Each structure stands twice: as C-alpha cells, then as structure tokens.
Structure 1
C-alpha cells in the first residue's frame, strides 16, 4: 500500500508532482526464499540425494534475523500465505518456479506466549502432512507408541481439538485415522489380529523382529533402516525428535505425482532458549538435520550459531562442515541484499528497496523525479536507514526549489539527522552518543569511560535506542548505525550543546585511555581484546595525533606472539601520502608487519625503511622496525644488511635485543660457522628462543632426533608462556626433523603443526610444514608437482631463505631413489641459490646424502664434530629410508 506524502506534496508548487509514501515489501527477502526453494528442489531431486544420509552437510536452512519489532513475524506469515495460495502473494513478489500445490508450507510460532512445547511442534508437522490424505507408516508407528506411553487413555483427536497451537489444522480428524491405517497395515502384514490396546506392544515387538530378520512380509518398511531402532527406544522426547527422520523417509516414499516439498517456517526462534540453555534448540535442530528433504525458514532476533564448532556438545551437529551456508557472516550492510545469503538481516532497507522507495516517492507522469544516478548515490550513502532516505527526499525538493539541479555532493551527511537523533535524548545521553561516535564498537562500561561519566545509566539507556545496533557475541556488542555515526562525526552540528574541536580531542583522549585501561586491567585480557583495542586505538591516535601511550606496549604484545591478525588500520592523511606523526608511523609499522604474510618481503623491507627514515617513532618502536627489517632482508637473501640490522638492535640493549642476538646466531649458522652459533645459543635463554636455535643447528648436523627434542622443548616453553605463534614455529620444525627419521611419527607431528597453525597467519612456518611433508614422503613417486607448487609459493612470498631448504628436501628424496641425474641438477640449483654465502653447506649435505665426494678445492663449513661424522649420519638417514621402503613399512 502507499499513502500520500503530504509533507513532500506541500513542499512544491509543481501540481504535476506525485508524492507517495512508498511501501517497501521485502521483495529481496522473497527472492531469497524462491532462490532457496529452487536450490533445495534441485538438490533433493538429484541422483545423489539420499534422505537417509546422516553425514553430509545440510543446506536446507534459510534464516531471517533482526531486532525485535522489525517485521520478522509479518514476513514469516506473508511467506507462508504466499506459498500456500498464489492469490495471497503480493504483486511485486514473483511466482515460485513450480505450482503451489507441490509445496507443503507450515508455520510454527515458537514464542513462549504461543505455549508451544516440543511435542506440539512435532504434531504440527504431522498434522500438516495429514493434508496429503496418506498415512506416514514408519513415523506413525513410532508416534502411536509414544502417544500410548505418554498420554494413556487420551485420544489424539481430542487433544488436538482442545485448542492452542494445533487447533488451526482443519484435518485433525484425519490424523488418527491415518495412524490407525498404518497400524492395521502393519498388523495385516504380520498376520496379527489387531493393533489397539494391549496388542500395540505385540505389534511393535513382532514388527521389530520382522525388520531385524528382513522378512518379505514387511518389505514396505524394511527400506527404513532405522525404524527398528526407534521402535525399541524409550518412547520419550529424545526418541520423538529422532523420529523426524522417519517422517522424512515416509515423505520420500510418495509417488512422483504425489511428491511435495515441505517448507517449515519456525518463527520467534529466540524463544527456544538462550546461549546457555539450548535443550529445545537441540531437539529442533535434530528435526532440521533429520529432514533434509524439507526446507526450513527460521526467523528470530539472532543469527543461528550452528556453524560455530564451539557449540559442540550443546548441539548435536555444529561447525562449518555441518552447516556450510551458515558459516561465514557477511557485513550487516550486505546481508539484506546479497544473493545466495542464507542468514539475512531484516532491518534497514536493502539497496533495491531504497531504490524502489526513492523511485516511487516522488514522480511526475508516472516517471521517477529523482534520476537513477542520484538514487544510486542516495541509496549508497543512506546505508538503508529510512530516515536518511526521507531527509534526502526533502533536501532534493529544497534544492529543486532554489532552481539548481541537485548533485550527488548534496547528499552527504545530514545535519538534520543529528537533531532528529538527539531530539529526545537527555544531556548525558547526547554526551555519550558523541563520545561513542569515535568508536567502531563499544560496551556500556567503555562508553561510560569514553564519556567521562561516573555512572553507566546514560550509556545503558542509549544502548536501547533504535540507532544502536547490537551483536551480543561481539567483543564490544554495540555500534552506531553508520549513517548516524558519520553525521555526528562529520556533519555541521548546529545544536546548542555542539562540541568544539577541543571537546572532540578531549573525548578522543578519554576514549584512547579507556581502551588502554580495558586492555591492561580488564577482566578478559586475551588476544581478541588486544586486537580490538589496537584497531580502535590506532585509528583514534592517528585521527587526532595523540600520544602513543599504551599503544607502544600493546604493539610489542601484538608482535610477541607472531600471530599477525589483520589490524586493518585505515589510510591516514599525511604529507603527499607520507608519515607526519608517531601514530601514523606506528600504523604503518604494524600494517607492514601484518601484510608481510601476504606481500613480497622486499615490499615489507621498503615499507619498514620508510618508517625508520621518518624518525617519528620512539626508540623502542624504532628498534622494532629495525629488527623486522633485518628479518625481511634475511628472507630475501641480503645477509650482510640483515646482520648489520640485527647488530644495531642487539647493541641497543632494548627488549628486542635477545631476538636480535638470535638473529646473529642464526646468521652464523647460515654462514656455516656452527661452533659460533652453538656457543651463542647457550646465552640466549627463552627470550632469544634458544631451543629453536639449537634445533636449527642439530638437524643440519644430521642429528634430527636431537633437533626434534630441542624443538619439543622450545614448543613446551612457548606453551608455558602462552605464545602460540612460537609454539607453531617449533612444532612445524619438529615435524620437519622427525620426517627424516620416521614418516609414521611425522604424520602425527604434521597434524599437530596444522592444528597449531589454524587461526594463525604464519606463511613461512606453513612452508616449513609443507617441506616437512615432502621429507616424510621422500622415496615415493609424484612429488614433482608439490615441489613446483612450493617453489612458486616461496617465490611469490619473497622467502628466498626457504628455497634452499626445499631443494635439500628434494635432494633427500632423490638420494633415496638413487636418482643421480636429478640429484646433480638439484645440487647445481643449490650452488646457484647459495652463491651469496648463506646455506653453502647444503651442497655438502646433498653430497653426503648420496655418498658423493666433494670437489678438491671445496671449503667446508665448521661442522660441530667434523665432516666425516656428519657425512656418515646423513648417509645413514638415506639408507634407513631405503630400508623402510623396501620392507613396505
């Protein structure tokens, strides 16, 4: 429906202007329903679909979620009506791809006020199916047994007629008749006299026996492989929930000309429980899983969390493999209109709804008054907020009255939106609102501290306003609607209590201090909180050129664990894109360190050089830039410059000095000066990661067992210090060392390495694990493609230092196979890669593996116990692998 927009109508002298209050009727949400129906129908009619498959992931769920009162229940009712009767479908909603008579929609309101319990929900499903006029024999047998046990002497039809959730089903009388028919058919097949009263237990026992023995008499039910198990189970709610599988099986047995597609709409899902008590949700999830031939449309206030593996144990099926369509949350602004989405936010208008609203709001002669290009701009900048669309329409008319043509730049932030937003807020609430506009997200305590208030009441009241959005599971649950936030931050504020520039700066200082206090003294000082505080703190510091304060310590904590979550700081203004403040430099430093997992290391070195040359960072952070540039230079093969950087940091004596001394020890190892590296390792301690340095030394001596023990000790130390990145480093290297000794044990070590790497962004460590997998498989054919893939990955990442290790793994494989030609080519590549002086001993090791002599003029490295002992150990590893392959173990 559409009414007259009198305000717009009385804003113009143009009598030809049509001003309508356009009604937006959720066409895109309906499109999501029809898309889901189409995909579901194609899936269930495919040759690979099996209604009894209990392991494949489910794609039979569509979710509409949003704040209370936004129209989810209305949409649910409209969808049910549109599917059941074409005449009830709004004219803007397109028809489904198949007739309504092939659909079987049933809507169940789960609201507590509706008084639904699980038993009634199951009965609703069966009553809906009763309209088909056919018994559901497998399900009906279990339902009758359940009913007799839990409602002795109470006729099912009388129970249904008493009212409540079940009273709307007009075919209630048909259900007992269909159940009786199913029982009679089973009794006749078994040659039993009856199916009522005491004979029910006899029927059940006889039927179970016949099913177990696969008798020909019950061949109609014998195809339902789990019927006997459910007939033998205790007739309780658990059994009733699993009986949904039988209903799905019965529906799948319908003849093709009678087949239907059940569409089950569960509304008010939030009333199934909370995030702690999920008893009813668990039962309902079983129905969804066990009826893969039905499409479920669920509406509630929150997204379904079923794809979260953390819910294992609370629900029966969890994780992204079980529910692939529910796994990845999309940004809220995209969820309402992204085609193919299965969790759709109901709230702000979708882009198409905004376009439709603007096109129909103002028109002349049936044509939109606001042009298509301008409508697109307004739609994008409104973020779907209806108020922003209204203000845009009024501004359009205001500019039009002036005789000027409205332009896209006229529709940015609306000062009136500030006044409208602040109109009914108390002074304290207005103060909190402006304060939290500085934050991407906030909690009530954080908002209170950022506002500098002593009490949380104003923040609590503000959190309940409709322009505050809530994601209960987020680190900070609240955030401002983007249009409101942008208007408050950037639009001209003409209110009486508007803030000056100094007011905004003081608020930014309070917000930064509040974030720092939350990170340093909060109840949950974990990695997620650190990242959240850093992201918001970096933006504040850069926007307002604030002192770094706690950001320095947070930056060291961030890099200390080597996890490298993306901080995604926005681009900051500067001199010709340069750095103009310490906060700008810190943003660039951390961004370069994060992006080095995805950029060529030469790019990392260049970015860090720019930070160093700016001279903006305090000494501690300046040394951080020096240290990580030295690492990047090492990775791209610039060893001399890398050692110079390490030495500069080590001489500085700061908190990264132990790490720099480790870098120098590793530089000695790379140069083949193993005694110097070994002596240095004794002085490094945990801070210098001494066990990892020792492990790196031992395996190149041909002693992978000692190396594996050192890496294990390093991993244990890292776990004791809760340093997950270092633990993953050590485990990947331990897997590489073990792979030389025992391929079977290497499987377990590599699996653990992958587990520790999950959720971490450690490109070089992942490559080490992949090289370990190649060593494990040495002697087996078809490693060539994997080697080429790794070479490409190493080249793209700029990890020049990893290339010789890959070639050494290939040399081990070729030595095991006695592939002399291949080995010669590999040694040539190693000589080429190590011409700079680092890793030259890898050519020695490759020769040791194959029992080849070294050139007479060759200068050997300083092995820890001589080249002959080292040669013997490497050769023994090759012969041991050959023996293992020959014995077939």
Structure 2
C-alpha cells in the first residue's frame, strides 16, 4: 500500500535511506464508508427504488472535509484501492460482497487540468471495463463528441495520454459506442452507410421513440432519452445525460450489475461560493445517478443542504440532501454524511514519523524523543508532520536535528490561505489574536461592517466549532501558531503596525462584548482572559480592563485566568498589562497556593509602580488580607488603614478588614460599631454575624449570615453568597445539628459554582461542629489541619482547635480537652484570637486564669453561660438520638 516518497528521496544523498509514503490508519473514516455503502446497497435492493425517480431526496453521497494537509487525498486514494480489492490489513471487510463494486477516483484539483467533459468521460471509461455498451448514454455521448470535436476520433483523443489514459476501458469505449450506434441504426432500419452519422440516427430515434415504434422497444423504457437527444448538445445536456447512464446501469442483468463508487477529490477547486458553475454540473451527476455512490473529499463541507442555495444549484435544502444537514440544524438526522477528518492521534503521529524515514535496516531515522516532540507540536496535523520530515532532512545535512528546530512553518500559512478570499484572509489573521470567537466578534475584530467574510471563514475546516461554548469558534492550534509566529511570505502579509492595529480592534471588540452583557460572569471571564493577553502582548492601554478586573474580584468566584497569565519565568512585569496579569493571577491562584506565596507575589506587584492608583489599591488590599491570614496583624492593619483613608473603590472592604482586625483583638464593641457603618459594600451582615457567634448568640448570627446571603444573591455575588451560607451553617451547627444539615447542603451547592478555598474549609469546620460528640471527628480534624497548613491559613488553625475543644467538652474528655487547650494557647500567644481560650474554658465550665480581658458585648458571665448551654444541649441531643 505504501510507495516511495519521492520528495523525501530527492532531499538526501543517502542511498541507504528508506523513504516510504506512510499511510496512517484512518479506521474511523473506513467505518463511515462501510456504513454508508451498506445502507446504499440496501436502498438499491429495496422494492421502492426507481432509478428514474427525480424527486426523492438523495442519500448517495459521503463527504470528508478537513484542513489542507490533513490527508484527504491520501484517504481518497486508499479508499479507491481498498474498494478495488487492495484493502489495508487494519481495515475490516465490508459487510456485503464487494466483487461488484467499481471505484473510480477523479482528481478535481486545478493542477490536474480536469474539466466537466473529462469527468463524464472518466466515469464512462471506468464502466467500459464491463465489456458492453451503455446504449442510451453512448448515443448522447457520441452526439456530444461529434458536435464539440468534429473530425477528431474519440480513440485518438484517449490515446494521447492524460488522466483518461489510465483507464483500462480507453480502448473499449470507442468500440462500445460504435456498437450502440450500429444497434440503433439496425433497429431503425437505416442503411449501413448511415451507421456512422449520429445526427441522422438521433433524429430518427427521437421520432421513433415519440411514435412508440416497436422497433426501438429496447430503448423505449428510458423515458427521457428522446428529450436528451433532441436538446442542444452542450455541457448542460451532457450533465443531464448522466441520467441515461444511470438507466443503462439499471438494465444490466443481476450477474453483471455493478455499484459505481465515484470518488471526487479536491472538491474545493470546483469554484467558490459565488461561482458554482462546475459544482452545479457535478451535483447533477450525483442527483441523476442515484444508483451510484459518491465519496467527496475537500477542504469545506458541502452546502447542498442549505436552503439559501436554491437557484445557484438545481437541488438544495434539507429535503433534497437530508444526510448533509449540519449537526446543529434542527430536524431528524438518521445519519451523518459530512465527516470532518480530524487530527492524528499522538500514536498515529509517531507511527507516521517512524515509517516515513528509516535506515536500511528498517529502524526509524528520527529518534523516539524527537518523534514525540514533533508529534506533540503538530497538534495532529499531517501537513506539519510532512513539513517536519523535510526540515529534518535539510538540517541533517550539516548536523543532528534537535527539538528546537521544529517550531512554526511558514508553508502552513501559504497552504491555509491558498483558497481563501481576501476578506477571509483578513479575518483569519485578525482572529488568530483570539483564543475563541463568534462570527460577530470576528467581524468587529477585523474592523468590518459586514459579517459575510467572518461567516464564510467560520465554515472552513481549520476553524473548530463547539456550539456549547460562549464563543463557539477557534482556530486549529497549529494553524493559529503559524499565522501568529512564523515568517509570513505571502503577498498580503501584515507589518508589525498592522498587527498592532488589529490587536487594538480585537481589544476594543472584547470590551464591547463585555459592556453588552455586564452581569454575565462567563462573558466577563472570557473577555478578561483574551483582553489581558492582548494588552500584555501588544503593550496596550488598560482601558475597560480596569472596570472588568474590579468586577472579577468583586464577585469572589475566582475562575482561573491562566490562559492570560503566561509570563516569562524570571522576568519582572514591564507594563501595566503585565502587572495586572500578575495581580489577577495571584488572586486566582491564592485558592490553590500557600498564602505566603500570594503575599510575595502581591508585594512584588505593589513595588513596580506600573499600575494605576485604583488597581494598585486592589493589590494592596489583597496583600493586607493575605497578611491577616498569615497572622501578620500589624502589617495587615497598616495596609487596610491606608486603603480606607484613600476612599477608593475598596475603602468599604478595607473598613470591613479593620473591623475583622478589631474582632481578632477581642475588641467586639468596636467591631460591631464599625459593622453598622459598612452597608452592603462592606458586607455589614457578615461582619455582624462574625461577632454574634463568638458570643454564642447563634440564632442572631445565623440570621445575620442569612441576610448577608440574600443580599449577595440580590446583587449577583455568587462568591459572597457561598461565603455567608458556609458561615450560617457553622453557626447553626453549634445550636441545632439537624438544621445545620440543610444549611450545609445549600453551602455545598453554592460552593460548586465558585472556587473559594477558605470558604470550603469553613464548611468543613461546620460539618465537624455538627458532628461534635460523634466518633471520627478527631481523624477528620487531622486531615483538615493538614489542608489548612497547605493553604497557609494560620488564623483558621485556632478555629479548628476551638471546634475540637467543643467536641471534647461535649464528651467530657478532660485529657483531650487539655491537649487542645494547650495547642490553642500556643496558636493565640501573639494576641490574635486569644479570647478563643476564654471560650474553650466557658464550654468546659472551667475558670479562666488569667482572663484575656476581651471586651464582650454584654459581659463575660452571660457569654460563659451561653457557651456552656450549647455544650449541655449537645449532650442532650446525643442522648435523644442514640440508637
């Protein structure tokens, strides 16, 4: 099945080099062919099939389309060979007898010099091998030939060579046509001297058919023969004459019947979306020969099922071609006959590279590690693999090729752009700046007032489509990389200034997308990811990114922004966009990194001086939060005070931070007074709840947290809603474990939509409180302690130990309680959360010596009684629920 690869052979002086035309397994495509042919054969044998039915929808075509270089022509050649009896070993047999299959492959590429007349001749020449005339069609063909090639015998034309000479029927066809002519003359009782005059025979035959003479009853069953013979013998008539060929095939006896399989390759060269003259003629062949099967390979899907083509093509729409309807179109789809030829798998890529070049002993010339590198960078694109083979041989002349030698290929640009219109080429370069796009976004990024070019581009095979995504289109990664990074030698290549203007257009288009849907979180994140990348790569002004960044952090969802956070290791930010990328990346990653790492990254950002003042406040605020989590209270307080004093966007949040710091120090009246001034922007309900639960006033705390969650939902803040719900579950877990179950379920539901590590840990703490007094709490606490350490949330360690104190107090386990108290004293030795030791003593009815002098809202004794009551209530609950 594999021949010699002449291109590779003539790139080396090494005569020991084995260069094979490797064919990588296309098993899925073979299965598609097998299924389609099986269905077609069953259709032909059904009682209702009529070869002269010109109205029923057609199901006799299968399309393979894909980007240039994906292997369509190779697949077409292999299918022709396989259907002709030379099936690759890895392909299974067809589920029906194949001896009557007659494959004929026709290359429609411009370089092949094909025209419609040659297409029709090729199909007829393939059938000439049957050894018998096709009388109805041969009469029409002879008439056409003598009209367009006067004085030139068909046998001389065929013997001159060209693509038609490869057919074995090249010698038989003239004889069969002459035989059909002689039989017609005899049936019409014309003199022998007239036997060679097709014009007189055609006129007499038309008259005889319309007069229904018995002498021509053999052809009388072909109801449209007279109309074809009576028409002007031009290409239009020749295209309709293929109906006669289909009729002739249907008259063959069962033992001589054949199923022609016509393979049209390089279908994209038949024209474009404006000029469809050749496509219209070829479509007629497919429609008028329903007893043949057609396998079409080309760069683009067939649009024949689009209703908008009525008038340009004779048959268009889903009723005419039900199996060519696109996936996303409505209506039943019994089969899919438009198959996008996908990329090679990594294994196929390596196999291709191994078999294309080998030494005399059959060992792959390209080593395993380099093969894997090339395969990974190819994205599965066979054209990339082929170009890599050529580059390998070129470099091998002077040195051993290395992985760094295989990057982007300029040839990929030329191959990709070759059949695009100027408008499509412009849009393609514009959208190469984007990770994903819609038709409207592509048009705006290209600076176009109309979307036609963008719409056409979206249908190209190197544009991948996923209807479920916000922006459904994206370029094949290798094609995009080549356009962005390879040296472009095309005539309409862009200068650096062109690329910058395109980046500005794309950036502005993304801003418009976000402003059109300001409350849509998915739009916000998608615009941020792409907008940050453009601003960073082209040093653009931040513009709309400032407001978008504040909305991103304000929602507290923290989706990853990693596509936009590509930074060069060891390189400090050089522009405002660089710095903003690093800031948002640090904030998103803090859900998965130690707070120490977050603090380091944000501290570095604040020293650059590159961010505008309000974005610098963002970095300062979250640095102060990280410092608080790490137990660096004094540093955190200074940062919060600085931000609150500026009165900017984050001033309410900074005031909330100061209230938290007051609470950490045990100054509860100040924390509560501050909470009353915060309003929604400062999350006043959450701050109030944080104070109430420390006083064991759990119902008031739960109500405050619930009010905070409802307020967050009203403002569309998913992160805040999850945070307050987890805290509500924590408060309820002390007072009513049963009610806490429902609260924890809702918290889990809300957390599933966001990425909040600290809040997730709060929910786990709530679950421990709910289960206090039950076995297994200590083991779960050990796992949670590890998770808290990994996150760098030092302040949460103390809360975990307080929860364990509650558990041991409920069980009256004095030994474990003493150990937990010792750990708690050590954790709060610096002063923050020192009152936790007071609360632990309240729980166990132990005297507090010495007191931390926390400023309790209603005094120490009422607070002590409430905490002790919670322990007693839990003991009673456990006795009631014991089995």
Scaled by the length of structure 1, the TM-score of the pair is 0.65
Q: Take 1:406 and 1:807, find their aligned partners in 2: how far apart are those partners?
A: 60
1:271 Cα deviation (Å)? 9.1
The answer as to whether partners of 2:586 and 2:602 remain within 8 angstroms in 1 is: yes
1:26 touches 1:353 (CA, 8 Å); kept in 2? no
Other-structure match for 1:733: 727
* C-alpha deviation, 1:300, in angstroms: 9.0
CA distance in 1, matches of 2:510, 2:371: 39
CA contact (8 A) 1:844 1:860 kept: no
Give the C-alpha shift of residue 19 in structure 1.
4.0
Match of 2:387 among 385, 388, 391: 391
Query: What residue in structure 2 maps to residue 22 of structure 1?
Result: 22
Distance 2:402 2:866 in 1: 78
Following the alignment from structure 2 to structure 1, what is the Cα–Cα distance between the partners of residues 619 and 330? 49
Cα deviation, residue 10, structure 1: 4.9
Q: What's the Cα RMSD here? A: 3.4
Q: Which moved more, 1:3-12 or 1:513-522?
A: 3-12
Q: State the match for 2:48 in structure 1.
A: none
Where 1:832 maps in the other structure, the secondary structure is helix
Listed as ranges, the matches of 1:526-605 within 5 Å are 526-569=520-563, 576-605=570-599
Q: Is the 8 A contact 1:28 1:352 kept in 2?
A: no
Contact 1:565–1:760 under 8 Å retained in 2: yes
Give yes or no for contact 1:66–1:347 (8 Å, CA) kept in 2.
no
Deviation, structure 1 residue 92: 4.9
Q: Distance in 2 between matches of 1:611 and 1:853?
A: 48
Corresponding residue for residue 825 of structure 1 = 819
1:868 alignment counterpart: 861
How is 1:193-208 mapped onto 2 (pairs within 5 angstroms)? none
Is 2:481 the partner of 1:486?
yes
Q: Structure 1's 887 and 406: CA in aligned 2 closer, same or farther, altered over 3 A?
A: closer
How far, CA to CA, are the matches of 2:90 and 2:685 in structure 1?
69
Q: Which has the larger radius of gyration?
A: 2
For residues 163-178 of structure 1, what are the structure 2 equivalents within 5 Å? Answer: none
- Cα shift at 1:21: 2.3
In structure 2, the CA distance between the partners of 1:272 and 1:460, relative to structure 1 (3 Å rule), is closer
Alignment gaps of 5+ in structure 1 = 32-64, 107-267, 282-297, 303-344
Aligned length: 617
Q: How far is the alpha carbon of 1:2 from its aligned partner? A: 2.2
CA contact 1:467–1:484 (8 Å) conserved in 2: yes
Partner of 2:658: 664
Is the contact between residue 827 and residue 843 of structure 1 (CA under 8 Å) also seen in structure 2? yes
Q: 1:854 to 1:88 in 2, by over 3 A?
A: farther
Q: 1:637 aligns with which of 615, 631, 636?
A: 631
Paired with 1:436 and 1:407, the residues of 2 have a C-alpha distance of 31
Q: What is the alpha-carbon distance in structure 1 between the residues aligned to residue 572 and residue 594 of structure 2?
A: 21
* Structure 2 residue aligned with 1:517: 512
Aligned partners of 1:732 and 1:769 also within 8 Å: yes
- Residue 462 and residue 566 in structure 1: after superposition, are their counterparts in 2 closer, same or farther (change >3 A)? same
Question: Alpha-carbon deviation of 1:380?
Answer: 2.7
Alignment of 1:703 with 2:701, yes or no, is: no
Distance 1:658 1:269, change over 3 A: farther
Cα shift at 1:635: 0.4
What's the offset of the Cα at 1:410?
Answer: 3.6
* Deviation string, structure 1 residues 224-243 (Cα, Å, up to 9, x no partner): xxxxxxxxxxxxxxxxxxxx
> Shift of the alpha carbon at 1:580?
0.8
What corresponds to 1:474 in structure 2?
469
1:574–1:580 Cα contact (<8 Å) kept: no
Equivalent residue, structure 2, for 1:877: 870
Instruction: Give the C-alpha shift of residue 405 in structure 1.
Output: 5.2
Q: CA deviation at 1:879?
A: 1.1
Residue-by-residue CA offset, 1:622-653 (whole Å, 9 max, x unaligned): 00001101110010101111111111110111
| 2:183 corresponds to | none
C-alpha contact 1:637 1:801 (8 A) present in aligned 2: yes
Once the 2 structures are TM-superposed, how far is the Cα of residue 787 of structure 1 from its aligned partner? 1.0
2:491 to 474, 488, 496: 496
Q: Match for residue 446 of structure 2?
A: 451
* More deviation, 22-31/452-461: 22-31
Deviations 1:256-313 (A, max 9, x none): xxxxxxxxxxxx99999967979999xxxxxxxxxxxxxxxx99989xxxxxxxxxxx
Q: TM-score, normalised by structure 2?
A: 0.65
1:378 aligns with 2:371: no
Measured in 2, the distance between the counterparts of 1:574 and 1:470 equals 31
Distance in 2, matches of 1:276 and 1:787, equals 54
Closer, same or farther: CA 772–301 of 1 in aligned 2, 3 Å: farther
Determine if the alignment matches structure 1 residue 507 to structure 2 residue 502.
yes
Counterpart in the other structure of 2:716: 722
* Aligned CA distance change for structure 1 residues 300 and 884 (closer, same or farther; 3 Å): farther
Q: Aligned partners of 2:785, 2:586: CA distance in 1, in Å?
A: 24
* Alignment CA distance shift 1:384-1:742 (3 Å): same
How many Å separate the matches in 1 of 2:359 and 2:8?
A: 13
**Preserved CA contact (<8 Å) 2:324 2:338:** no
